[in-house]
Each structure stands twice: as C-alpha cells, then as structure tokens.
Amino acid sequence: MTEQFDVIMVGGGHNGLVCANLLAKAGKSVLVLEANEQAGGAAVTQSFADGYSVSSGAHLLYGLQPQVERDLGLKVRLAADNMSTIALSDDGKHIRIKGSSVQGVGDNDQAEMRDFHKQMLKFSSLLRPFLNKTPPRLGAGGREDLATLAQLGLKVRLLGKTDMRDFLRLIGMNIYDEVEERFSNPLLKGAISLDAVLGTHLGPRSPNTILTLLYRLAATGGRIASPAGGMGAVTKTLADSAQKQGVDIRTSKRVKQIIVDNGRATGVRTEDDDVFMSMTVVSNADPKRTIMDLVGTRHVETGFARRIHHLRMRGNAAKLHLALDGLPAIKGLDKKDFAERLVIAPDADYVERAFNPAKYGETSPNPVVEMTFPSLRDTSLAPAGKHVMSAVVQYAPYELKAGWDDAARARFEDAIMDTLARYAPDLKGRVVASELLTPPDFEQRFGMGGGHWHHGELTFDQFLFVRPVAGAAQYAMPLDGLYLCGAGAHPGGNVSGAAGRNAARAILATEKGS
C-alpha cells in the first residue's frame, strides 16, 4: 500500500522544515523525507571527536527572519547575540567592529565607518522587504507583480538624488574599490572584504561583492548571533515545532526520484524503493539536483534545463573544526574575546590573493578565516574546561585541479594551521582532534551540489526574479505540482528560513487561486 500525503518535502533542511510546518499549519498532511539520520540539512550540530560537537555548516546566525519565528510561534535560543568582530593582527593590535563602531583605528576611519555603515544599512533596507516576499514575475503583467516592482523603483527614487546616485553606483560594484576609497586601516578593509565574500566564489575585486554585503545586512542589519547548542539546536527547534504541527518527519530516507506522471509531479521514490504519493512535491534540495537528478530533464523543457545546468554553484568555503584541550593564547586577546567572532583577513589585498589560486582550481596557501570558539558561551559543546574551534576557511575550490585526495586535504589543513599559528602560536599543541570539511564533503554529507552553501552563487544573474533561473523564481517549477523551497530559491542562503516561508505561502496562494 502506497502512502499518500498532501505534500511531500524532499529533504529536511531548515527551509524545508519551515515550509513543511507552515503547510501543516494550513491543514495539509506533510511528509518530510530526510536522507541523513537527523533533520536539519547543513544546519546541524555534529560530534566530530569524543565529547566535542560543532555546527557542521554555518556556525553563526546572520539572518533568521523574525517573520519565521513569529509565524511558527517559536523563539530560537541564543548563546550570544550582537557579537563583535575582532579583526586579528599578528602584532596584537587588533581592531574591534560592532555595527558602525570600530575600535583601534584612527578618527578618520571611525567617521568613515559610521558613514559607510549608515549608507549600507539604508541601501540594504531597500532589499529587506523583498526577502520575505515572492519575487515579482517580469512581463506577466500581474497587478501584484507590478506593485512589487513599482515599490522597489519608488523606494530607490525616494532615496533622493545623492543617495540614489550612490546606490546605483555601488550596487554593481566590488567591495575592494569601496574600502580602498574610504578607509586607511588595512585590518578594517580586510574584515569588510571578508564579509562581502564569505561563502562565495568571489574575491573582493569581483563585481557583485557590494550586493552580497548588502544582502547580508538586509537580513538582520548585520546582527551576528550564535545559537545555543549550535546550529543543530535551531533546526531541532524547527523540527520539534513541525512535528507538533503534525508533520511526519522520516530520517535516513533518501529520495532518489521525483515521480512524474503525465506531466506532473505525483510523488517520490526513495533509495530503498519506497514510493510515497502526493499532488504537491516540494524540494529542499538544490535546483540542479532537483531538476537534473531527481526529476530528470526529460520532464521539463530544454531552455529551462539548460539554465539550471548552467547555474553557477561552485562551493569555495571549507570548515575546520578543532577539539582543543584549552584555549590558545592570542597576543592582545583576553579570554572573553574568544567569545566573539575572530577573523583573519589582514587587508583587502590579502583576501584577493587568497582568492587568486581558487580561480585556477588551487587552494589558498594563506587562507582567510572566520573563527569562533562556541564552547566558550555554550558548555554543551565540549567537555568541561575544553574548547571547540569552528572556522570557515576560504578558499577551497570544489573542483580542485589536483583532486581532493588525502594529500591535498592534509596540505590545505597544514596551510590553515600555519596561518592560525601566526596569531596563536600554541594552538597546534592544543589540538586533540580535528575535522576538515571541504566543498565535496559538504556535497557528500548534505547533498548540496558543488558544496555550495547557498545552493547557487548570489549574484545579479541569479538574484531576486532570476533566482534560481528566469521563469522559475516564484517557487513553482515549470512542472505541475513541483516546488522549490531551499536556498536555491529566493532569497538564497544563510539560515534565514525565508525561502521556506515564502515557498509555503506561494504554494498555498496557488491552491487558493486555482
């Protein structure tokens, strides 16, 4: 007997859980099929050494949307909120950035930073309302589509002449030119550059890197938080809430095929050949996997398949996790400083140079690093008195020219450890265990194609009404009954829940309309 549901969710990532929850809330019977042993996708807390756990993917919350928490009636517990960023200097003269204020730089830079931050916030607030909305469909002439577009146009116009000119100048620009023009302190330039390129296949001199920064700010105004219990606790909260709402979550169930019958999605087949039927299938997998592998190109049209095939989603960020027998010593840092966000990006050129090898399929010999010591504020993550370091490291191209064999991994890990040792000379001696996750690891472990955290680069050509591709930006795929709800859909990556929430609303609106 084949089980039947109103909605089947392929993959239980955080967006999938949010979407499933809202659909169940609207009265649907919803089945979530998750390939891994725990739901949460890449937003999970996993043990990597005896007694030590860490957020396997993203480790900081930049953008969980208040609308998501409100609609689901839940509150994510934070271990730390409004964290500062400390840009490390090897001579111990670090700078501290929190919002618009920055310590450790000259008066001029401080004033520029206030101005820069104010401007970025103003511009990012133009984008903010779009995060929690289905993007307008261009050329369709629907009243709501036109209204949404007009709203953006009007908002840009209302900026006034000077700001509008600046907005239009900056939006397509690269972050390098902007920080070089404004600031003199190299650490400040480096730290802002890092923010703009985190999780992308872009260097500070790549176009689009102001857009990526604005987008990050749009989510929560640049507020950085660390969830209690790691990112897994966030998705655990989401999964519990979904289950309470009646969502049937089954783990260790990998979907291998979305079944298409007579031109519409009608269910899924799992790797162990179970078949589940539903008139609505929602995919939390990335767009490429969804269309090219799970659906199969034969069930969609050629132009669409070609656009999906050409999606740019080459992951370039690695994670390094260290189990430490104690905190390392970093010149100029107190113990409490380890609870903040530490970055190694000593100047903008350093970041660009780290990116250079990635263009040619090589890892950075001097990588940029964003690190946290989450155990400092969250003792559940490490044995008493011990600590965990979680670092996002760039650049580690998905398609490494030499291939990601053990030697390549060891070489890259050595490069990271050498970089870290310049700031924390005693770190190597404190390592009890380590884990390096490269983009292919992310792909293998979490199913994200190319190991790309955002299910596709967030640049103008894959943004807003062309995300993931033109003609499919409204969550409904051009195959009846199939929807996309993950980071590959608008508004993209980060643990925000916005894509999942928007998708659920789009699905319910479609049903109402038909």
CB nearer another protein, residue 243 or residue 510 = 510
* Distance of alpha carbon 445 from alpha carbon 265, whole angstroms: 26
CB nearer another protein, residue 94 or residue 299 = 299
Question: How do beta strands 275-283 and 3-10 pair?
Answer: parallel
CB nearer another protein, residue 162 or residue 514 = 514
Q: Which two tokens stand for residue 302?
A: 């050629």
CB nearer another protein, residue 157 or residue 306 = 306
Among 73, 142, 263, 429, binds another protein (CB under 8 A): 263
CB nearer another protein, residue 143 or residue 298 = 298
Q: Tell me how far, at minimum, the Cβ of 13 lies from another protein, in Å.
A: 24
Whether 98 and 82 have beta carbons less than 8 Å apart is answered as yes
Cα angle value 331/419/397 (rounded, 5°): 145
- Within 475-494, the residues that bind another protein by CB under 8 A are 478
Whether 20 and 9 have beta carbons less than 8 Å apart is answered as yes
Size, binding site for another protein by CB under 8 A = 18
The residue behind tokens 């508004």 is 491
* Distance of alpha carbon 419 from alpha carbon 400, whole angstroms: 20
- Within 309-348, the residues that bind another protein by CB under 8 A are 309
Question: How do beta strands 368-372 and 387-394 pair?
Answer: antiparallel
* Distance of alpha carbon 226 from alpha carbon 219, whole angstroms: 15
* Distance of alpha carbon 460 from alpha carbon 170, whole angstroms: 13
Length in residues, the chain: 514
Of 16-24, 258-266, 315-323, 392-400: span binding another protein (CB under 8 A): 258-266
Q: Tell me how far, at minimum, the Cβ of 30 lies from another protein, in Å.
A: 26
CB nearer another protein, residue 55 or residue 290 = 290
Q: Which two tokens stand for residue 157?
A: 């116009």
Q: Tell me how far, at minimum, the Cβ of 293 lies from another protein, in Å.
A: 8
C-alpha dist (Å) from residue 486 to 250, 381, 385, 480: 18, 28, 38, 18
The dihedrals phi and psi of 201, each to the nearest 5 degrees, come to: -100, 60
CB nearer another protein, residue 106 or residue 263 = 263
* Distance of alpha carbon 504 from alpha carbon 301, whole angstroms: 25
- Within 203-222, the residues that bind another protein by CB under 8 A are none
CB nearer another protein, residue 309 or residue 401 = 309
CB nearer another protein, residue 22 or residue 473 = 473
Q: Tell me how far, at minimum, the Cβ of 255 lies from another protein, in Å.
A: 17
- Collapsing DSSP to helix, strand or coil, 430 comes out as helix
CB nearer another protein, residue 162 or residue 262 = 262
How is the chain split among helix, strand and coil, in percent rounded to 5? 40, 20, 40
Q: Tell me how far, at minimum, the Cβ of 57 lies from another protein, in Å.
A: 28
CB nearer another protein, residue 291 or residue 358 = 291
- Under the criterion CB under 8 A, does residue 142 sit at the interface with another protein? no
CB nearer another protein, residue 208 or residue 474 = 474
- Within 433-472, the residues that bind another protein by CB under 8 A are 471
Of 32-40, 151-159, 212-220, 259-267: span binding another protein (CB under 8 A): 259-267
Among 162, 262, 336, 360, binds another protein (CB under 8 A): 262
* Distance of alpha carbon 411 from alpha carbon 291, whole angstroms: 35
Q: Tell me how far, at minimum, the Cβ of 261 lies from another protein, in Å.
A: 8
Q: Tell me how far, at minimum, the Cβ of 479 lies from another protein, in Å.
A: 8
Q: Tell me how far, at minimum, the Cβ of 39 lies from another protein, in Å.
A: 29
Quick one: 292 exposed, middle or buried, by C-beta within 10 A (0-12, 13-18, 19+)? middle
Among 305, 317, 354, 499, binds another protein (CB under 8 A): 305
Q: Tell me how far, at minimum, the Cβ of 480 lies from another protein, in Å.
A: 9
Rg of the Cα trace of the chain? 22
Q: Tell me how far, at minimum, the Cβ of 416 lies from another protein, in Å.
A: 37
The mark string for 265-304 relative to another protein (x by CB under 8 A, - otherwise) is: ---------------------------x---xxxxxxxxx
- Residue 104's Cβ-side half-sphere holds a number of Cα atoms within 13 Å equal to 18
* Distance of alpha carbon 346 from alpha carbon 338, whole angstroms: 18
Closest CA to 495 of 56, 100, 47, 130: 56
The residue behind tokens 């779009």 is 130
Whether 495 and 58 have beta carbons less than 8 Å apart is answered as yes
Q: Tell me how far, at minimum, the Cβ of 308 lies from another protein, in Å.
A: 9
Among 244, 306, 359, 428, binds another protein (CB under 8 A): 306
C-alpha dist (Å) from residue 227 to 53, 336, 494: 13, 17, 14
Q: List interacting residues with another protein (CB under 8 A).
A: 260, 262-263, 292, 296-306, 309, 471, 478
